[in-house]
Amino acid sequence: MNFASSRLNDRAAELRRAFDRSFAERRRFDATPTEDFLAIRIASDSYAIRCSEISGLVADKKITRFPSRAAALHGMGGFRGAIMPVHSLAALLGHPMAATPRWIVIASDLPVALAFEALDGNLRISREQILPGEADDRARKYVRDFMREQDRVRAILHLPSVLDAIREQGPGSGAIEEG
């Protein structure tokens, strides 16, 4: 047996012992509370939506347009066998409405879909990174918190406030009352 094969056998034995030890040790769990978010962009602004406030995410869904007095209403769309109004998050936040937004989230509290232009990804952050605060004038009623994310701060949309605003627009605006 040469020196190289002896070192290889020793390394293999060391790896076997480490593997076996990993089953004998107590599992360690990270006790830091975290929260999951969708990171989105509307116009040039960065926002986040709590995953706990949505029941689905859809891309490239056909929206059937129709006349409405609600400026933020894109139209209607079919999602999982249900027809829902699709509102523009951009318009609700005071930005120009995109002609064909790519992404749509379905609210978990009300059968309403909310459209936006860009998805930056999914974020899992510690609750220590969530900062209470006030947003700028347009989004103030829809933003209650902010998150620290690497090199930037992102506003967290409060979807219950967005849904309340849609409900307040009244009949004919695309608001669907809870049953």
Separation between Cα atoms, residue 143 and residue 156, nearest integer Å: 6
pLDDT of residue 10: 84
**What is the torsion angle, in degrees rounded to the nearest 10, for the CA atoms of residue 35, residue 41, residue 42 and residue 45?**
90
> What is the CATH code for 34-168?
2.40.50.180
Q: Regarding predicted confidence, which is higher, 144 or 85?
A: 85
Mean pLDDT on 172-177: 51
* Domain spans, the chain: 34-168
pLDDT category at 153 given cuts 50, 70, 90 is confident
Q: What one-character-per-residue DSSP string does the chain give?
A: --HHHHHHHHHHHHHHHHHHHHHHSPP------EEEEEEEEETTEEEEEEGGGEEEEEES---B----S-TTEEEEEEETTEEEEEEEHHHHTTSPPPSS-SEEEEESSSS-EEEESEEEEEEEEEGGGEEE----TTTGGGEEEEEEETTEEEEEE-HHHHHHHHHHT-TTTT-----
* Beta pairing class for 113-116 and 82-88: parallel
Question: Whose CA is closest to 107, among 36, 53, 173?
Answer: 53
β partners of residue 46: 41
**59-68, 92-101, 155-164, 170-179, range with the lowest pLDDT:** 170-179
Predicted confidence (pLDDT) per residue in 111-152, tens digit: 999 999 999 999 999 988 888 876 555 456 888 899 988 788
Confidence of residue 75 (pLDDT cuts 50, 70, 90): very high
